[in-house]
Amino acid sequence: MGQLPSVSESSDSVWNRGQTSREVPAWQRGLYAGLFLYLFLAALNVMSSGLGLFGEQSDFMERAFAYGENPFIALMGAVLVTVLVQSSSFTTALIVTLVAGGDMPLGTAVFAIMGANIGTSVTGVIVSLANIRIRRNFRRSFTAALLHDFFNLLTVAILFPLEWISGALHEQGRGLVTRLANSLSDMIGLEEVANPNSPIKVITRPVVYLFDWFSALLMPTPTAQGLLTAALGLALMFVALIFMVQNLRGALLRRMDGLFRTYFFRTDLRSYAVGIFSTVMVQSSTITTSLMVPLAGAGVVPMLRVFPFMIGANLGTTVTSILAATANPVSAAMTVALFHVCFNLIGTAIWYPLRNIPVRAATWYGRLAADSTRYAFLFLFLVFFLLPITGIAVTELFIIYG
C-alpha cells in the first residue's frame, strides 16, 4: 500500500530526494490523515449498507458463504485477495466489515484472517528481486523477506489445524483462539448486533446516505443498488487507505534510514517495538516490511534484528482491524479483530523463543536462491499463486463430488 520508493534506489538517494522536495507541514499532514481516516471509516459503513441491501434482495451472500465456509477455502481465498490488492489492511478491514454485517460467519472469518497474514508477505519477496544482479545483496534481502514469510507460514501451520480441530469439537464451532478473542470482546461489552446510533455510524451517516442516494439514482432495482453501493464503498475504502497511509507516514519514513543506522536495532526488544510503532504510524505492514528488505540487503540492519522487527510489524498492522471494528461495533466484528491480535501474539510467543528455526530456514533458502535465482521465483509462484489456486480448486472439487 502507499507509494513505496523504487527498490532499485539506495536508501541514501531516497533520503536526498526527500530533502530536496518541498516538505508538507506536519499539521497539514495530520489534517489530511484525519480526513482520510474519516473517509476510511465511512467507506466501511457504505460497504456494509450496500451489502446489507444486496443481501436482503438476493440470497447470493448466504449461498456464497455457505459454500465458502470450508476453512481451507477461506484461508487460500484470503491469501489470493491479499496478494492481488497488496494489503492485508484492506483484506482484514473487508473481513471485519462482512462479519459486522452478518455476511460472513465468524468461523470463516478467522481463517481468512490467517490467509491475509500470509498474503501480505509477498511484497517483501517482490522487493528483494530488485537486488537479483548483486548476489550478496540479493541473498541478504531475500533472506529478510523470507523471515516475514516463514513467521506467518509457520504460525498458520500450527494455529490452522489447532483452530480447525478445536472448533469442530466445540458446540458453537469456535476454536481455541476464537474463544480467547471472544472472551476479550465480551470484556469490552459490545452488542451482538450493530447499534444504529453508535458514534461512528452517526458521524459517517451523511456519506452513507450520499452513496445510497447516488446508487438509487443510477440503478433500477434494489439488488443492483446494493451491489453498486458496496462496490463504491470498496473503492472509497481502498483510496482512503492509500491516502491515509501516505499522509500518516509523512516525513517518518524519509527519516527512518538514519535512525536505523544509529539507534533502532541495538536490541531485539527495541527492534520489535520499532516494528510495532512504525507500522501503527503508517497503517501498513507492507510499507514497513518492504522498507526493511532493501535496508537488510544493503547490510544496514543486522539479520538477527530483522526477525523481531518483522513480527513487530505484523502486530502493528492489526490496528487496522481494530479501527474497522470500531466503525461497526458488533461483538463478532471485534472478536475477528482481536483474533488478528491474538494470532500475532501467539505466533510471537512460539517463534521468538524458537527463532533459530525460521532464521536458519530463511538463511538456507536465501543462499539457495542466491546461487540459483530460479528458486526465488519458484518460491514466489508456488507459495502465493499455485498453492492457493490449486488448494481452492481441489477443495471445491472434493466438496462437489465428495
Least confident of 78-92, 120-134, 243-257, 316-330: 243-257
Residue of 316 and 40 predicted with greater confidence: 316
Q: Where are the alpha helices (DSSP H) in 283-386?
A: 285-297, 303-316, 319-327, 331-351, 356-371, 374-381
Burial class (CB in 10 A: 0-12, 13-18, 19+), 270: middle
Q: Report which of 27, 25, 3, 79 is spatially closest to residue 242, judged by C-alpha positions.
A: 3
Tens of pLDDT, residues 147-179:
999 999 999 999 999 999 998 888 777 889 999
| Phi, then psi, of 134 in degrees rounded to 5 | -110, 105
Mean pLDDT of 107-131: 86
Instruction: Evaluate whether 40 touches 203 at the Cβ level (below 8 Å).
Output: no
Domain ranges of the chain: 25-401
| Phi, then psi, of 55 in degrees rounded to 5 | -65, -35
Mean pLDDT of 383-402: 79
Percentage of residues in the chain having pLDDT higher than 70: 78
Query: Which amino acid is located at 291 in the chain?
Result: L
Residue of 402 and 184 predicted with greater confidence: 184
